[in-house]
Amino acid sequence: MPAVSTVTDRPDADYQASLAAIQAAIARFKGCNEQELHELSDDLNELARMAEKLRSGRVEIAVFGEISTGKSALINALCGEQRAAVNVRGGWTKDVWHVPWESAGYCVPGLEQSQVVLVDTPGLNEVDGAHRAEMAHAAAARADLVIFVADSDLNDIEYRALVELAASDKPLLLVLNKADLYRPDQLRDLLALFRGPRLAGVVEPQNIVAAQADPREVEYVIQSADGRTRSEWRRPQPNVEEVKARIVELLSADGKALIALNAAIFAADKSDRMSALRVRFREEEAARTIWSFAVTKALAVALNPIGAADVIGGIAVDAAMVVTLGRIYGIQISTNNARSLAASIAKSAGLVTVFEAMVSWASSAFKALTVGLGVVVTAVPQGAAAGFGSFIVGQAARYYFQHGASWGAQSPKQVVSQILANTDKQSVLDRLKGEIMKKLALNRHAK
């Protein structure tokens, strides 16, 4: 077997690689929790559809554009029969329709069972049409080739949509439809305008063509042999030949590679979205966990009348927090190791532990001797300080797990001092005090 793949092997290899990329993206969903699955269910469905499309070798051409520009009429003209509903009323197409383009009698080289499908989409600028515009965008995202239909000079919405579509790197055809409504010189000027600087780098000049998908009836004056004249209204034939020719050229040139590339980009996009979402959920969960343990610690220390238990309980709370954080980041850590990690972070934070221990020692005697008011006066700052210590231990442990159970290029001390520098200590203490006061107030009411 030759070591270097030949030109004809290439699309096949790309095709298989794309299918593998889609399947890998689908497999990654298996690791999602319920909340993630709920949020990503549309993406998962789209990936499954893309996998099916790739396996069956279906080529999708999405027809996109503002309302009433003649998208459905163009599909009918390409098929040579009435397949999509056309109407003078704007906003007629309400859903995304797939119309097999059998009459093209065409299949992509290398994909012998390929079926070309024209995808009709709802018009862009509709009132209440946000949802439909979304559907149209999703159809364009899946398509292998996009046809943008305009019927006059481009307005701002059309221009922005074109730029957005061009960013996806799939072939983009701009069709100036309703050519029958223009004089030849007007049509020439419009096409020249489209092929000018505004769309340079957005649509390639050879991908800008004119069409008349459903020309209006025109009056013909017919002169008979005896010189008498009569008039008759006739509808000229649709003319979409240039559009058809350009589609076939594009697909023949690199149809299979194009489909493969499109699917690979699609899979990569979905994977990125999934990763971003998982990171977001994980970070939110980590933040919630740290805060809830910090509050637990603050309450335990504030409400516990025995000083020694403050310290012992404190370490246990921190160790449990570290184990929980490890689990969130997919890292198993034993309670003993968690305890040492928490202790070493606390040691790096120096001030916090000393402070915590001192306050704990100094006030425990006071707490034991006094009742009521004494507890409130000392317990609140003491508990808040202990909670703050846990908060810092939690942030540092989170950094450690975020970096795959390592401090990366930094020392633990550097990480902890950065965290301390970036934390608004007063606001964390105030929030913790608030939590303790709430709990104390509840206790009093209970009494």
For Mg ion, the nearest residue by Cβ is 93
Of the two residues 72 and 177, which places its CB atom closer to Mg ion in the complex?
72
Of the two residues 50 and 75, which places its CB atom closer to ligand GTP in the complex?
75
Options 25, 50, 59, 73; binder of ligand GTP; rule CB under 6 A? 73
Of 14-22, 70-78, 306-314, 323-331: span binding ligand GTP (CB under 6 A): 70-78
CB 173 within 8 A of CB 209: yes
In the complex, least distance from residue 99 CB atom to ligand GTP, rounded to whole angstroms: 12
Cα separation of the two ends of the chain: 86
Task: Name which of ligand GTP, Mg ion, none residue 70 binds, using a CB cut-off of 5 to 8 Å depending on partner kind.
Answer: ligand GTP
CA-to-CA dists, residue 410 to 60, 309, 400, 403, 414, angstroms: 51, 34, 10, 11, 6
In the complex, least distance from residue 71 CB atom to Mg ion, rounded to whole angstroms: 5
Residue 346 CB: number of other CB atoms within 10 A? Answer: 23
Task: Name which of ligand GTP, Mg ion, none residue 90 binds, using a CB cut-off of 5 to 8 Å depending on partner kind.
Answer: ligand GTP
Task: Name which of ligand GTP, Mg ion, none residue 356 binds, using a CB cut-off of 5 to 8 Å depending on partner kind.
Answer: none
Residues facing 119 on adjacent strands:
62, 98
Task: Name which of ligand GTP, Mg ion, none residue 67 binds, using a CB cut-off of 5 to 8 Å depending on partner kind.
Answer: ligand GTP
Inter-helix orientation angle 373-402/307-328, to 10°: 30
Residue 176 CB: number of other CB atoms within 10 A? Answer: 24
CB 163 within 8 A of CB 145: no
Options 3, 88, 221, 421; binder of ligand GTP; rule CB under 6 A? 88
CB 175 within 8 A of CB 152: no
Of the two residues 14 and 60, which places its CB atom closer to Mg ion in the complex?
60
In the complex, least distance from residue 428 CB atom to Mg ion, rounded to whole angstroms: 57
* Identity of the residue numbered 220: Y
**Quick one: tokens of 383?**
């508990």
The conformation of residue 399, written as its DSSP 8-state character, comes to: H
Residues 189-228 that bind ligand GTP (CB under 6 A): 212-216
CB 216 within 8 A of CB 73: no
Options 93, 304, 324, 363; binder of ligand GTP; rule CB under 6 A? 93
Q: Starting at the edge strand that comes first in sequence, how are the strands of the sheet with 145-150 ordered? A: 97-100, 115-120, 58-65, 145-150, 172-176, 208-210
CB 263 within 8 A of CB 118: no
Residues 120-179 that bind ligand GTP (CB under 6 A): 122-123, 177-178
Task: Name which of Mg ion, ligand GTP, none residue 216 binds, using a CB cut-off of 5 to 8 Å depending on partner kind.
Answer: ligand GTP
- Contact set with ligand GTP (CB under 6 A): 67-73, 86-88, 90-93, 122-123, 177-178, 180-181, 212-216
